[in-house]
Every structure is written in structure tokens, then in C-alpha cells.
Amino acid sequence: MAQKTYAGIVLEVNEEGYMLEKNQWTKEIAKAIAQEENIELTEKHFEVIEFLRDRVAKGEGLTIRSIGKSGIVDIKGFYGLFPGAPLKLATRIGGLPKPVSCV
């Protein structure tokens, strides 16, 4: 557990940098976290983040496959927006907990 300052606000984050209190999230905070990853957030990025935040609010699981079927982006597009490990990155930028890999 640690504290980080994004967009002038001090936030509690876990050891992997995920916000502990998702209700504190704002778009400015998202932009600041994305800056650390050298990502400039666009409308498309925010559409995906809203989709993820919506699903989490409804208690639904997050999967790359469901984002691909969301109608917002396909899976390749998702990787383009959040390179590397897109779901982990998008959730961190979006103020959500790291998705639990259920195996």
C-alpha cells in the first residue's frame, strides 16, 4: 500500500499501482496515470474505460473477449489503445482493480 499523487490529488494505491478507491477516479487522474505509460488518452480510450467501469459497477467480470464484442473496439484495436497487457493497463488507468485471472 502506498500513496501517489495524480492530477494534484493524493490517492491510495496498492503495490502494483492500482487505485484502492475507484470512486475517487476522474478523467484527469486517468490522464495522469496514462502519462506515466506514455499514453495520450483519446475519446476512444475513455469509451473503453467507461465500458469497463460500467461492467465493474454491475459486478460483471472483465475479459478481453467481451471488450472485443462490445462494439467499441475489436481486440486488435484494444491492444492498439493500451499496448502490452491491455486489460491490466486499462483497468489501472481507469481506476479499477486489477482483473482477477480466473483459471
Q: Which of 20, 53, 63, 97 binds another protein (CB under 8 A)?
A: 63
Q: Give the CA distances from residue 6 to residues 26, 40, 81, in Å, rounded to whole numbers and listed in that order.
A: 10, 15, 21
Q: Is 24 in the site for another protein (CB under 8 A)?
A: no
- Grid coordinates of 80: 492498439
Three-class SS state of 13: strand
10 is an interface residue for another protein by CB under 8 A: no
Q: Is 102 a catalytic residue?
A: yes
Place of cell 475489436: 74
Q: What is the DSSP letter of 85?
A: S
Binding of another protein by 58 (CB under 8 A): no
CB distance 7 to 29 below 8 Å: yes
Site for another protein in 69-88 (CB under 8 A): 69, 75-76, 78-79, 83-85, 88
Residues that bind another protein (CB under 8 A): 60-61, 63-66, 69, 75-76, 78-79, 83-85, 88, 100-103
Which residue numbers are catalytic? 102
